[in-house]
Chain A
Amino acid sequence: DIQMTQSPASLSASLEEIVTITCQASQDIGNWLAWYQQKPGKSPQLLIYGATSLADGVPSRFSGSRSGTQYSLKISRLQVEDIGIYYCLQAYSAPLTFGSGTKLEIK
């Protein structure tokens, strides 16, 4: 199975700050990487697909990038509504596997 190592586990940042979350894949997964945001008590919502493509309706302050087998989610100017838990997902091969999550809070 492909392992997705996500970091950090938790993150506290100030409003308007730049935030970066990373996932390291245990093998090459190409661009088969998605990012999700889960707000408290809600279902996960797709933010980024294909490693770098913004899902419909997602604010442009979110962006995704790739460097080899390392993937990053960047929030360019943190807003209050961005608090929640973020997960990466490798969609390259079954079993599809998620990162362990990053809990994002406002400082």
Chain B
Amino acid sequence: EVQLVESGGGLVQPGRSLKLSCVASGFTFSNYGMNWIRQAPGKGLEWVAYISSGSSYIYYAETVKGRFTISRDNAKNTLYLQMTSLRSEDTALYYCARRSTTEDFDYWGQGVMVTVSS
């Protein structure tokens, strides 16, 4: 069974940093591209970042480019999102999701909440 479990969220002040993790199991993690997607409270879904299976290709949404860094450790089956210079508008539930062979997101974690507030 495919499982994605996020952690590392919490309450953080504007301008500070936070690092999210997503541990994968039930599939060969190193064979799949991975994504972070977020959902602000009561709002829709926003794709945040993508990393290819071997970390060769990395893409970011314009809203986080230069502030967020996606990375992965295939030996640990873990995806990361380093978030710096956090803003109130980054407050959201952050999901990690697997990229399927048809380029969409076929499995999602349960999400981890990040709240940016003073």
Contacts and interface: CB of A to CB of B under 8 A. Distances in A.
B103 A98 contact: no
Interface stretch (B11-19, B78-86, B106-114): B106-114
Contacts of B106: 46, 49, 55
Given A43-B95, A43-B109, A43-B110, A97 B102 contact: no
Contacts of A106: none
Given A98-B44, A101-B44, A91 B102 contact: yes
Contacts of A32: 102-104
Interface in B38-59: 44-47, 50, 59
Nearest to A46: B106
Nearest to A43: B108
A38 to B, nearest CB: 8
A41 B103 CA distance: 25
B62 interface: yes
Given A36-B45, A43-B110, A91-B104, 5 more contacts: A32-B104, A45-B108, A53-B102, A92-B103, A97-B47
Interface of A: 32, 34, 36, 43-46, 49-50, 53, 55, 87, 89, 91-92, 94-101
20 contacts: A34-B105, A43-B111, A45-B108, A46-B104, A49-B100, A49-B104, A49-B106, A50-B102, A55-B106, A87-B44, A89-B104, A91-B104, A94-B50, A94-B59, A95-B47, A95-B62, A96-B35, A96-B47, A97-B47, A101-B45
